[in-house]
Chains A and B, each alone.
Chain A
Amino acid sequence: MSAEGLPARVLELGEELRREGVAVGTSEMIDAFDVLREIEWTSESDFREALAATLAKSQEDRRVFELVFDRFFFRAVEIAAVREDVREGDLASLDELSEEELDALRAEIAEAIRNGAEGTMRDLARMAIAAFARRQEGSGVIGVDVQRIRRALGLRAEGLEVSRPGEEAIREGLPREALRRFEALLRAELERAQIERTGALPPARPLGDLDRALPSGPLADLAAVQRVVAQLRRRLATQGLQARGHARHAHIDMRRTMRASLQTGGVPVVLKYRPRRPRRPEIYVLCDVSTSVTSASVFFLSVLHALHDTFRKMRSFVFIERISEVTDIFEHERDFKVVSERIANDAGVADISGYTDYGRVWTEFLAQVEDDLHPRASVIVLGDARTNGRDPRADLFAQIAARAGRTFWLNPEPQLYWNYGDSVIGAYEQYCTAFECWTTAQLEEFVKALARPGLAF
């Protein structure tokens, strides 16, 4: 790559990152160039780190950055090599290996992966391709070839977790992360060979969701939910119901201040503030966590979690047969994983059967909060309205809806299934506004609907 070509390359890289959904603004690009002035960009790691520090502003972005960076410069280098007609020596000399030699190679590769030595792994990947890919002619599809070579090498990943004390003997496989790296190297070498053969770049493929996911992050959805709920909050704020800001500051208690000022000759040197009294919660959320909504309840809990991050005045309940208030759990734990675990373990909402009993839920809910409900409170129910044949007690629900200012129902089932089987959403729908909601996109729809006049909290 020539030096004068570098700015163009960096811009292209930024463009590519944007295509993968990383928010790279103009200011980030300017920063990137500022940064490149300060470092020796001939060192690969410095160059990469410096760009990463300016272009990728979260852990997820950082991961995407790594992938895009590798792909981008790999391709850039290869095409430059093709243009300059730089060719690698042929590796064909390896194809007549005896079985023993192959076994030795297998052992060597497994060892290298276990040690995680990058350089050795790259060399061995080339050996492996030379040894195995030529035996049966390559399929032409790189992904297939990678898997075939991997099988031929007999590489197995270790068990997902070395669980329970007795079972530690199964630690035979190879560390997952290192194995993935080895596969990536195989892929890179195969791609390199292909580019060299054809003298052209294959079309770039966008990153799959699988590549993109963090090794330990099932919470990517959570971030999306958080964003939508933040939007929800903004919409509510513009409706003038968020008495935060000014009301958050303490007010001066004139009477007590004056009294205290008598000590200083009538000059109010010491200010007395009015104590801040907790106001009544404004939002009540009831969330179904029974088995019929298992798939949706992670989503629901993350909605709940996000709501708690955003609204101070809210109380939340989970229910199956009975209800249980979980406001405290959400308020004291910020980590979503911990929250969901604690709810699963301590909430104690299933009584005997583990089936939802809406009638009982409404009774208990009314008993707990009836006096607190007021016209400015909103009740949001997250559930599928499947009563398992029990009495829906829509009259109690009507009572709740009448006392609360607004009542919403978010149903995780497609509208098509509503009122079929034991779904009784129709009985409740007449007292509240029901929404189909099981994706963040639909949650956004709900938020938008909220902003419509006449539907406000």
Chain B
Amino acid sequence: MRLRMSTSQAPAHDSVEDVTAGLRAAGYLPSESTALVCLLAIRLGKPVLVEGPAGVGKTELAKTLARYLHRELVRLQCYEGLDEAKALYEWNYRKQLLRIQAEASGTGWEAVQEDIFGEEFLLARPLMTAIASEHPVVLLIDEIDKTDQEFEAMLLEVLSDFQISIPELGLVRARTHPIVLLTSNNSRELTEALKRRCLYLWLDYPALEHELEIVRLHAPELSETVARKLVEVVGMVRALDLKKPPSIAESIDWARALLLLGAADIDEQVFLETMSVIVKHRTDMDVVAERVGVKLRSPADVG
């Protein structure tokens, strides 16, 4: 059995304000639509499809939601070639074999078969775990766009009816109703059937003020002026056509790096030294150094 968080009493989740406050308390600053969709997901029990560029906090949202509701987080990381055996369940083949060996000879086949296809020999994988859990969980199906369409089709049964059919065992129904979040980086069009079953949430890079708030939350020691400048610079960098624009996590990392260096301002010098925190491609670095670095210099020249 895994470690489980105390499922004492989940905090209030009756209105958008409750959810916003709850997520904030758990260290996530949701936009209004995010809070609203979370509320709907909790109330209606429908899965949520979260799309958006990399690094806007899709996965983090699921983690925070679990923290806020005092639920366990079950995570299924998707990748190409993921199949039922790794997502749903697998028979514990070795244990079954040992069982047969240990069985006194002469036991009828029927008896053994009944025996070895029991729950005892089932290795529950994330989807199964989420459904069979005694306490409701938050199920995160991460990067669903990385899997094949076949896998999506398999998910449909789980997502709409919260049940899994195992040929040897019959139907396993959900004991509790998990909150399901699916994330996608939009690298592939998902099937209509899957979308139909989900609520849709598009997470984008936050607006300037919102991101400022996020940075301040995670690096409270950073002075207001530096934080504001940092967010503005990150905004500028994102506006460029880069291979990989900086994510929110990288803004936060950068804020922490600046704290560590004790920088009082972001000028060209500081920027060039630390920009590797937010820009992670050789070619991107050249572009950013050229365009943004110069902008940071100009006020100093004038003043």
Indicate whether A38 sits within 8 Å of B37 (C-beta atoms), given known contacts A49-B32, A58-B195, A168-B295: no
Q: Which of A54, A168, A268 gathers most chain B CB within 10 Å? A: A54
Asked whether any CB of chain B lies closer than 8 Å to the CB of A212, the reply is no
Asked if B40 and A39 make an inter-chain contact with CB atoms under 8 angstroms apart, the answer reads yes
Indicate whether A23 sits within 8 Å of B290 (C-beta atoms), given known contacts A35-B40, A38-B44, A59-B202: no
Distance in Å from the Cβ of B120 to the closest Cβ of chain A? 18
A108: chain B residues within 8 A (beta carbon)? none
Asked whether any CB of chain A lies closer than 8 Å to the CB of B21, the reply is no
Distance in Å from the Cβ of A230 to the closest Cβ of chain B? 8
Asked if A52 and B200 make an inter-chain contact with CB atoms under 8 angstroms apart, the answer reads yes
Per DSSP, are chain A's interface residues mostly helix, strand or loop, or mixed? helix
Asked if A59 and B51 make an inter-chain contact with CB atoms under 8 angstroms apart, the answer reads yes
Asked whether any CB of chain B lies closer than 8 Å to the CB of A183, the reply is no
Asked if A57 and B44 make an inter-chain contact with CB atoms under 8 angstroms apart, the answer reads no
Asked if A39 and B189 make an inter-chain contact with CB atoms under 8 angstroms apart, the answer reads no
A375 CA / B179 CA spacing, docked (Å):
51
A23: chain B residues within 8 A (beta carbon)? 192
Indicate whether A39 sits within 8 Å of B16 (C-beta atoms), given known contacts A53-B199, A59-B202: yes
A226: chain B residues within 8 A (beta carbon)? 189
Pick the interface stretch among B93-101, B104-112, B170-178, B217-225.
B93-101
Distance in Å from the Cβ of B107 to the closest Cβ of chain A? 16
Specify the chain A residue showing the minimal Cβ separation from B186: A59
Asked whether any CB of chain A lies closer than 8 Å to the CB of B88, the reply is no
Chain B 180-199 interface 0/1 with A at a Cβ cutoff of 8 Å (1 = within): 00000011110010011111
Asked whether any CB of chain A lies closer than 8 Å to the CB of B215, the reply is no
A52 CA / B199 CA spacing, docked (Å):
9
Residues 274-302 (chain A) with a chain B CB within 8 angstroms: none
Asked whether any CB of chain A lies closer than 8 Å to the CB of B275, the reply is no
A57: chain B residues within 8 A (beta carbon)? 49, 195-196, 198, 200
A195 CA / B150 CA spacing, docked (Å):
52
Asked if A35 and B97 make an inter-chain contact with CB atoms under 8 angstroms apart, the answer reads no
B189: chain A residues within 8 A (beta carbon)? 223, 226-227
Asked whether any CB of chain A lies closer than 8 Å to the CB of B294, the reply is yes
Residues 195-247 (chain A) with a chain B CB within 8 angstroms: 223, 226-227, 245
A-B contact count (CB 8 A): 81
Asked if A49 and B33 make an inter-chain contact with CB atoms under 8 angstroms apart, the answer reads yes
Q: How many residues of A contact B (CB 8 A)?
A: 38
Asked whether any CB of chain A lies closer than 8 Å to the CB of B229, the reply is no
A418 CA / B37 CA spacing, docked (Å):
55
Residues 44-94 (chain A) with a chain B CB within 8 angstroms: 45-46, 49-50, 52-54, 56-59, 62
A223 CA / B192 CA spacing, docked (Å):
13
Taking a contact as CB atoms closer than 8 A, the residue among A25, A248, A268, A309 that contacts B188 in the complex is: A309
A58 CA / B94 CA spacing, docked (Å):
45
Indicate whether A49 sits within 8 Å of B93 (C-beta atoms), given known contacts A57-B195, A168-B295: no
A249: chain B residues within 8 A (beta carbon)? 83
A28 CA / B197 CA spacing, docked (Å):
8
Asked if B291 and A38 make an inter-chain contact with CB atoms under 8 angstroms apart, the answer reads no
Distance in Å from the Cβ of A223 to the closest Cβ of chain B? 6
Asked if B290 and A46 make an inter-chain contact with CB atoms under 8 angstroms apart, the answer reads no
A339 CA / B199 CA spacing, docked (Å):
31
Asked whether any CB of chain A lies closer than 8 Å to the CB of B210, the reply is no
Asked whether any CB of chain A lies closer than 8 Å to the CB of B36, the reply is yes
B198: chain A residues within 8 A (beta carbon)? 57
Distance in Å from the Cβ of B261 to the closest Cβ of chain A? 26
- What are 11 A-B pairs at a CB distance below 8 A? A27-B197, A46-B36, A49-B37, A53-B33, A54-B199, A58-B51, A59-B186, A59-B202, A226-B189, A227-B189, A245-B150
| Apart from A49-B32, A168-B295, A248-B81, 18 more pairs, CB < 8 Å | A25-B196, A28-B196, A38-B40, A39-B36, A52-B33, A52-B200, A53-B33, A57-B195, A57-B198, A59-B51, A59-B186, A62-B200, A62-B202, A165-B294, A268-B97, A269-B97, A271-B93, A309-B188
